[in-house]
Structure 1
Amino acid sequence: MGAQLRVYRQKIKSAQTTKKITRAMELISASRIYKAQQRVAASAPYSRAVTRAVSAVATFSNVDHPLTTEPARIDRAAVVIFTSDRGLAGAFSSNVLKEADQLANLLESQGKEVVYYLVGRKAVASFNFRRRESVKQWIGGSDLPQFDTAKEIADAVVAAFNTDYADGGVDEIHLVSNRFISMIAQVPEVVRLLPLEVVEGVETPDASEVFPLYEFEPDALKVLDALLPVYIESRIFNAMLQSAASEHAARQKAMKSATDNADKLIKNYTRLSNAARQSEITQQISEIVGGADALSVVDDQD
């Protein structure tokens, strides 16, 4: 009984230590979610302005640009996967990897070759474990994205897009990342980055909004040359910000679940420990009573 009691006490101590760690990580993630949401909200006006400018130039100029023109044949597609650098975030990274696998299967069924660009240690570790190849990798800073990293990714994918297929280039580029919906829901999302899909149509402004009249100088082609890299960088950076906010939310949810489970373990092991202690006390009392009865019998015989 004494050995069993020591085992239960050791398990209770381990569960309490685990609870302190998971509770601390839960609070850290909760504090970082607000900052991540602020960064996403701060980037939204700039992203909308760039998107509107690119749409205006591409729609009203009738200029054929390599980044906006659908190629006659698509032989190779690039998939950029955004995961986390750290674990303990539930199914955050695995959901993105599953979505990327489904996208790759779809593209391969269409006769396209798929190449990968990986962002985050979890994606790199998964590809290394499964012995799959990737063109380029970026690790570090998934929970606090930097624009310089987004620019590096944008430069790499645009360079691949502008390279001929025979020289290792790609014909289209897809982004796979988690989109932050709420503290409860983070949804894997697939976005085709290049070539741009410009939907032609007539927009109707709100009562308090007046659409600007665009004048392209020196010409629409040069304006597109300047705008499109900025647009691609902003889209990639926004995907990184969304992924970071989703990562913090997923980690907070996972750590809260781990803390609750640690509480349950502590209660269960405490109950078992009390039962073992009670059994030990009962056994000791029984031994004392038995010894006393034996002594009284000896005295009576004398």
Structure 2
Amino acid sequence: MGAQLRVYKQKISSAQTTKKITKAMELIAASRIQKAMARVRAAAPFARAVTRAVSAVATHSNIDHPLTSERENIRRSAVVIFASDRGLAGAFNSQILREGLQVAELLRSQGKEPVFYLIGRKAVGYFQFRGIQGAAEWTGDTDTPHFTTAEQIAGTLIEAYERGGEQGGVDEIHLVYNRFVSMMTQSPESVRLLPLAIVEAEEKASAQVYPLYEFEPDAGVVLDALLPVYIQSRVFNALLQSSAAKHAATQKAMKSASDNADKLITDYTRLRNNARQAEITQQIAEIVGGADALASGK
């Protein structure tokens, strides 16, 4: 009985230690979410401005730019997967890896060869374990992404796109990342980055006359300058959204772990009390039995 009590005490102590750790991680993740969302909001005006500029040039000029033109024969498609460097985030990494593989399977069904570009140690480890080779990898900058990482990723993607599928590059680029919806919801999202599909802002029922644009020195030079910045901003936005979603997933997972630890502490405390009561009852029974034996022997 004493050994059983010691076991329950050890389990209660272990659950209490686990709860302290998970509670601390939950609070850290909560503070990081606010910072991550502040960065998303801060980057949004620049991204909108670049999108409007690119949309204006692509819509109101007749230039046939390589980054905006659909290629006749698409052989290879890049799939950029935004995972995290750390775990303890529930289904965050598993759902985005599953989404990336589904996108790759869809591309294969269309006769295209998927080429993986991996961001985050969890994505790199997942593909290495399964023997799938990635074209490029970036790790160590997913918790608090820096714009230099987005520049490196965008430069690699643009270089591969400009080479084309025939020269070992790619003919289109897809981004797969977790989008922050709310504290409880992180939605996997896949978007085609290149070739660009510029959509004019909301169409109105009434006839609308758009202004005439003049580009200096010409539309091609303007697009050459704008498109890399646009792609960098889209990649950086995906990094920021993935970072915010990861911290939210971590907070949710750690809160669930803390609640489970509380439940374990309650259950083991009840079992310990039952075992202690049983031990006390047994001791009383032994005392009474001994007293009866002494009384009957006289």
* Alignment TM class, shorter chain as reference: over 0.9
1:44 matched residue in structure 2: 44
CA positional deviation for 1:165: 2.2
2:282 matched residue in structure 1: 283
CA RMSD of aligned residues (A): 1.3
CA positional deviation for 1:237: 0.1
1:142 matched residue in structure 2: 142
Aligned equivalents of 2:99, 2:63: Cα separation in 1: 34
The gaps in structure 1 that reach 5 residues or longer are: 205-210
Q: 1:142 to 1:197 in 2, by over 3 A?
A: same
Deviations 1:18-62 (A, max 9, x none): 000000000000111111110000000000000000010011011
Aligned equivalents of 2:284, 2:130: Cα separation in 1: 61
Q: 1:5 to 1:255 in 2, by over 3 A?
A: same
2:207 matched residue in structure 1: none
CA positional deviation for 1:128: 1.1
1:253 matched residue in structure 2: 252
Mapped pair 1:237 → 2:236 = yes
Aligned equivalents of 1:19, 1:89: Cα separation in 2: 16
Aligned equivalents of 1:47, 1:133: Cα separation in 2: 32
The gaps in structure 2 that reach 5 residues or longer are: 205-209
Aligned equivalents of 2:294, 2:266: Cα separation in 1: 42
Q: SS of the residue aligned with 2:163? A: coil
1:120 matched residue in structure 2: 120
One-letter identity of the residue aligned with 1:218: P
CA positional deviation for 1:200: 5.4
1:171 matched residue in structure 2: 171
1:295 matched residue in structure 2: 294
CA positional deviation for 1:164: 3.2
CA positional deviation for 1:178: 0.4
1:181 matched residue in structure 2: 181
Aligned equivalents of 1:214, 1:19: Cα separation in 2: 62
Aligned equivalents of 1:235, 1:24: Cα separation in 2: 33
CA positional deviation for 1:184: 1.2
Aligned equivalents of 2:21, 2:181: Cα separation in 1: 27
1:266 matched residue in structure 2: 265
The question of whether the paired residues in 1 share the 8 Å contact of 2:74 and 2:165 is answered with: no
Q: SS of the residue aligned with 1:193? A: strand
Aligned equivalents of 1:212, 1:129: Cα separation in 2: 55
1:209-220 correspondence to structure 2 within 5 Å:
214-220=213-219
Percent identity, aligned pairs only?
68
Deviations 1:196-253 (A, max 9, x none): 012358856xxxxxx9864311000000000000000000000000000000111000
Q: 1:103 to 1:17 in 2, by over 3 A?
A: same
1:207 matched residue in structure 2: none
Aligned equivalents of 1:44, 1:117: Cα separation in 2: 25
Q: SS of the residue aligned with 1:162? A: helix
TM-score (ref. length: structure 1): 0.94
* Aligned residue-pair number: 293
Q: SS of the residue aligned with 1:148? A: helix
